[in-house]
Structure 1
């Protein structure tokens, strides 16, 4: 495959994945303020608390398939027989892990769950969705079109359902059912047309269990990541109030939304970089890492400094006065987008394709320890603000270790710091936008002016530099090779 063709395929897949991620940003921007006002902080806190617990069982169901399955399919996709055998064995193992997770959650609900039981039972739909989740197959085949179309349709249906069925504070169960049911529907829908890509075949039991080691090894970092990302909410729920959980969760959701667009590139690049490694194309691999880091930091710096600049105006306008404290939390958490962007490039384009799973796991363990320490110290003093600081510290240490781990193999430090222009452009954009928000009322018109002002300043300052540095790559993407 020619380099131009590779560039074109990556660009098209990135656009498909980005289109879905943009929808994930746009729809919640409409539903979150509505739900926040209808359900209120306490009810949202209950939803986020029960979701955080269900998340652990969902991870047990899906194990490490997001990365392991993606990589497995990418390694076997050129041979039909190998592909069928690899997929069948892996999914049979996923069925076992999914059944165990569902059983374990039922036991938890029967013996240990004493409060908010109805909402917790509805969260079982979320765990069940992972039993059917074969998105890793399509990612490994680089078939992003189907997953995008399915997810877009389901997202639009759930978007409409929220406004139809969630109308007062007694509709928390309906809201939970819509959120979790849409996840189940999107995973089941991927099974239609499966036979066009793979076929189930009989495989020996030993081949099924052969996938256990790879899945469990990559499940550990997924587990640890989600421990320290849900740890904040669980510790807030136990050390503070459900209102603080809701305030923190809303701020965290806003910061997570733009990161979804950045993460889209990592999902697309993992199977591509795995193929490069298998063919020994080291120089092409390094070139893609360099370019990816530049595009990542261009997007991340603009999003992070933009959110920091408008945070205090955005929170009361968007969530309502009950969530005004979200503004400060957004400013604290927003730099995490930059940190995670760097880590995403290193993880999905070097560590995982090269099977450097050990370094990946060590970095995540460091993140958990840091998050636990800072949560324990800061939540009793500063509640949700303390949790936000702890999250930022944990993410920073994860990124620093991953960059440190591969410094001798690829010049990732140089790739990162050579893009300091985007950091400077973000600061240049932040100052006037933040000052404007402080001097004017917290209104929708102020927010809109801030957004337009920030985009104009950043695109002029950073966009011009990007065009100059990556003119040829941009031309290939626009012309599709």
Structure 2
């Protein structure tokens, strides 16, 4: 099986991320203004509920499957067995999830009030589990994933502008959310056949039991992480539904930044797992060092920029109705750095080494802390209380992972004093951004000029500080120009 280089996979993955970011930037102002706080809050609330059912039905397979497929990707028979074994587990869990969901619809009042929207968006559960997305990530088929991604985003964009015309169209928006996130998974199911061979596979050769313990360990971790992402929305909705959208809009923007920060790690996870499997320590260390530098080079200036430009970002993306979200996004901005480190420690260090139980310890502890602070702070501070709870929980999770990963960090450049250059450059960049804000341009002008001038300032500073990624990009650009 032909495997693309890390560079090509990274370019494809990053292209999807920027297209996804452009899609959100293009549609968020349109959706927030048309649907309004209340109806957008309904979709976000149901979205958080369905996400939990997706999580429970998927167990830990989405992450576990990537690692296991990456390890056996060069053996057709072994990768076929992995897909069949995990597929059987998914069939069982999907059936159980729908049984529980239908039971909830007839029991809980909040579910009954949104029954139509919940039923429509529940299709996401089925599409998600039959998509075998983890298989394509495991074999590093970024070309197929990118083509499929572009098609579905274009379809969702067209439907959004055709269907969504008033605040009463929130049901249609729910349909678009499902199509956008999982509609293409039907193609995954059809396309996967060319990578598998069922000729020599017999039922007695299957070993489903071997997967049960690790997927449950990873599932506990995934469940804990989802508490950061979804439980705060559910708890805010239970206290004051109007505050749900005030939290989800800045949270979505921050999570969008996080997707970009963790882009290289997503590409490297199967590659690092394969290096460890084959005892390729030289490439392992090279990939790990690039990963931490990539996270720092993006997360540090993003935290600074979003904090300083919070007012302009919220007013541009959501309008005056979301003024209360400005302080929320300032609070949440710091988790770009914290979660970037957590992702690195969890999915670049502990997880590929088979130490998923330590990652689970960390995120489970953090989840409990998150729940406690949400319970105490949301009733009084609403969306801002949830933001503070998330920051505290994520920080505790990182500290625990640092302890368990300490021996692996000694052989890489994690604690290198050279990493201070990113903070120095970001500090100087912040002065230029603050100066632009003092000129009192309009919101859009302030954003564009600040991103342009701030980005150039930051890049030039790192270039003169001899930052490796910047230098490599410069050399590559010069070679392209000469050619």
Would the TM-score normalized by the shorter structure come out above 0.5?
Answer: yes
Work out whether residues 273 and 353 of structure 1, in 8 Å CA contact, stay in contact via their aligned partners in 2: yes
Work out whether residues 33 and 319 of structure 1, in 8 Å CA contact, stay in contact via their aligned partners in 2: yes
* Residue 150 (structure 1) aligns with: 148
Measured in 2, the distance between the counterparts of 1:385 and 1:478 equals: 47
Work out whether residues 41 and 244 of structure 2, in 8 Å CA contact, stay in contact via their aligned partners in 1: yes
* Residue 233 (structure 2) aligns with: 233
- The TM-score normalised by the length of structure 1 is 0.92
Measured in 1, the distance between the counterparts of 2:246 and 2:33 equals: 13
Measured in 2, the distance between the counterparts of 1:57 and 1:283 equals: 41
Structure 1 335/43 Cα, relative in aligned 2: closer, same or farther at 3 Å? same
Shift of 1:202: 4.0
SS in 2 for 1:353: coil
User: In the TM superposition, what whole-angstrom CA distance separates every residue of 1:423-480 from its partner, at most 9, and x where no partner exists?
Assistant: 2222222234245336626532232222222222222223543645774587579989
Measured in 2, the distance between the counterparts of 1:118 and 1:358 equals: 39
Between 456-465 and 287-296, the greater mean CA deviation after superposition? 456-465
Between 443-452 and 214-223, the greater mean CA deviation after superposition? 443-452
Flag structure 2 segments of 5+ consecutive residues without an equivalent: none
Measured in 1, the distance between the counterparts of 2:328 and 2:7 equals: 34
* Residue 287 (structure 1) aligns with: 286
* Residue 351 (structure 2) aligns with: 352
SS in 1 for 2:207: helix
Flag structure 1 segments of 5+ consecutive residues without an equivalent: none
* Residue 183 (structure 1) aligns with: 181
SS in 1 for 2:212: helix
Shift of 1:395: 1.4
* Residue 171 (structure 1) aligns with: 169
Q: 1:86 aligns with which of 82, 85, 110?
A: 82
Measured in 1, the distance between the counterparts of 2:446 and 2:470 equals: 34
* Residue 307 (structure 1) aligns with: 306
Q: Equivalent residues in 2 for 1:409-428 (5 A)?
A: 409-411=408-410, 415-416=414-415, 418=417, 419-428=419-428
Work out whether residues 329 and 385 of structure 1, in 8 Å CA contact, stay in contact via their aligned partners in 2: yes
Shift of 1:413: 8.7
* Residue 62 (structure 1) aligns with: 58
* Residue 43 (structure 1) aligns with: 39
Between 30-39 and 467-476, the greater mean CA deviation after superposition? 467-476
Measured in 2, the distance between the counterparts of 1:413 and 1:376 equals: 39
User: In the TM superposition, what whole-angstrom CA distance separates every residue of 1:398-443 from its partner, at most 9, and x where no partner exists?
Assistant: 1222122111232289515531211222222223424533662653
* Residue 362 (structure 1) aligns with: 361
* Residue 128 (structure 1) aligns with: 126
SS in 1 for 2:455: helix
Measured in 1, the distance between the counterparts of 2:180 and 2:423 equals: 38
Shift of 1:145: 1.1
SS in 2 for 1:204: helix
Structure 1 104/412 Cα, relative in aligned 2: closer, same or farther at 3 Å? farther
Structure 1 463/347 Cα, relative in aligned 2: closer, same or farther at 3 Å? farther
Measured in 1, the distance between the counterparts of 2:158 and 2:134 equals: 28
Structure 1 468/183 Cα, relative in aligned 2: closer, same or farther at 3 Å? closer
Work out whether residues 370 and 393 of structure 2, in 8 Å CA contact, stay in contact via their aligned partners in 1: yes
* Residue 117 (structure 1) aligns with: 115
User: In the TM superposition, what whole-angstrom CA distance separates every residue of 1:376-403 from its partner, at most 9, and x where no partner exists?
Assistant: 2222332211111111121122122212
Measured in 2, the distance between the counterparts of 1:128 and 1:253 equals: 24
Q: Equivalent residues in 2 for 1:126-275 (5 A)?
A: 126-200=124-198, 201-204=201-204, 207-239=207-239, 241-275=240-274
Work out whether residues 34 and 167 of structure 2, in 8 Å CA contact, stay in contact via their aligned partners in 1: yes
Measured in 2, the distance between the counterparts of 1:83 and 1:469 equals: 35
Work out whether residues 286 and 410 of structure 1, in 8 Å CA contact, stay in contact via their aligned partners in 2: no
SS in 2 for 1:111: coil
User: In the TM superposition, what whole-angstrom CA distance separates every residue of 1:298-317 from its partner, at most 9, and x where no partner exists?
Assistant: 01112222211211122112
Measured in 1, the distance between the counterparts of 2:290 and 2:93 equals: 38
Structure 1 440/471 Cα, relative in aligned 2: closer, same or farther at 3 Å? closer
- The TM-score normalised by the length of structure 2 is 0.92
Measured in 2, the distance between the counterparts of 1:478 and 1:134 equals: 40
Structure 1 257/460 Cα, relative in aligned 2: closer, same or farther at 3 Å? same
Work out whether residues 307 and 333 of structure 2, in 8 Å CA contact, stay in contact via their aligned partners in 1: yes
Measured in 2, the distance between the counterparts of 1:470 and 1:439 equals: 30
Structure 1 410/421 Cα, relative in aligned 2: closer, same or farther at 3 Å? same
Work out whether residues 76 and 195 of structure 2, in 8 Å CA contact, stay in contact via their aligned partners in 1: no
Shift of 1:283: 4.1
RMSD over equivalenced CA pairs, Å: 2.5
Between 382-391 and 407-416, the greater mean CA deviation after superposition? 407-416
How many pairs align?
Answer: 475
